[in-house]
Amino acid sequence: MSSNQDSKFFNVFSLVLGILIAIAIVLFAFARSVGANTQAQHVLADPEYVAQVNDNVRPLVRVAVAGQDNSALTIAAAAGSAAPAGALELPADGAGVYEAVCTACHSAGIAGAPKAGDAAAWAPRIAQGKPTLYKHSIEGYTGQAGVMPAKGGRADLTDELVQQAVDHMLEIKL
């Protein structure tokens, strides 16, 4: 007897579920038809939307092919900026290099870098002379006490700027 009640419940439940699904499909079709007649023209006419779509579908990489005109592959500067997006600004003098580059390691002692103000750690290095300090700062150095990346990891720095930064560090008494 319980199987007959289960069967009736299942049939009624299936009928209600089918009606709800049919209503959802009709509402979806109605919304699509209304949206197609009103929204599509406005969305496609919006220049900001079109620009975003074009930005999203552009290729992520471009390949230069030898023997062909690759002038379109140059990196264009963003409007209103002097440097390409993501480029770091080159410091103007030794103090600027010290603040922008050197302090990253020398303020916290990262990778064995002697901390600014630690005279005991700097004494053996200073005793080697400025030419050695310049050489290690420009070319990089790996020693028992730590690692100095070439130009502090900023390959875009000139040798003169690195030397000015070393001089600045020596002037401020490290």
Whether the pLDDT of residue 97 is over 80: the answer is yes
Q: Is the pLDDT of residue 82 over 60?
A: no
**Paired residues of 147 in beta bridges:** 142
Tens of pLDDT, residue by residue over 107-141, are 888 888 888 788 888 888 888 888 988 888 888 88
Give the pLDDT confidence score for residue 79 in this predicted structure: 54
DSSP 100: I
Q: Measured between alpha carbons, how far is residue 19 from residues 11, 24, 25, 120, 170 in Å? A: 12, 9, 10, 84, 84
Predicted pLDDT at 75: 61
63 vs 19, more confident: 19
Task: Give the H/E segment covering residue 147.
Answer: strand 147-148
- pTM exceeds 0.85, yes or no: no
Tokens of 85: 């997006």
pLDDT at 157: 83
Distance set, CA 159 to CA 92, 94, 97 (Å): 13, 11, 11
The predicted structure's pLDDT at residue 9? 93
Question: Are 113 and 106 within 8 A, CB to CB?
Answer: yes
Whether the CB-CB separation of 151 and 158 falls below 8 Å is answered with no
**Which segment of 49-53, 65-69, 86-90, 100-104 scores lowest on mean pLDDT?**
86-90
| Tokens matching residue 69 | 């005109």
pLDDT mean across residues, the chain: 81
By the 8 A CB rule, do 149 and 140 touch?
A: yes
Dump pLDDT digits (tens) for 31-71: 888 877 777 677 777 888 888 888 888 877 777 777 777 77
The yes-or-no verdict on residue 104 having pLDDT over 60 is yes
Average pLDDT for residues 76-98, to the nearest whole number? 66
Is residue 98 pLDDT above 90, yes or no? no
Give the pLDDT band (50/70/90) at residue 78: low
3-state helix, strand, coil in the chain (%, to 5): 65, 0, 35
Residue with tokens 């020693």: 143
